[in-house]
Amino acid sequence: MEAALGRIPYIAQAEKFPYDNLVIIQKLIKNFNVNLKVEEELSGYSKELKDFIKLCLQPLSDRPTYEKLMKIEFYQTHDKLKMINTVNQIIKDIKYHPIIRNIFL
């Protein structure tokens, strides 16, 4: 979801806490309602993207394997090289974001 948004989706909740407290940030991630958060944050995106992201954010015990995700039409219909370049750019942007940067320092 971060790749689509270019920011962490739970930033409003995270701003209440120190960014270097990874335990709190991990709890925010673990406890958010995936379906609700995806629908709220990605309201302008396609149903296919939202469904794919929801699958990726399922609890590990319920999450499809990478091999199964690769068989989903959404995955197969997008230009992989373009996706890799986009994700790499987003990672670079996030790495230098003033809030996120503190987590990695």
Q: Alpha-carbon distance 88 to 3, whole Å?
A: 9
Domains in the chain, number: 1
CA angle, 22 then 104 then 53, to 5°: 70
Show the domain range for 41. Answer: 2-104
State the pTM of this model: 0.60
Place of tokens 């629908």: 39
Q: Alpha-carbon distance 5 to 13, whole Å?
A: 16
3 Cβ contact partners less than 8 Å away, ≥ 6 residues apart: 86, 87, 90
**For 32-77, what is each residue's pLDDT tens digit?**
788 888 898 888 888 998 999 999 888 888 989 988 988 888 888 7
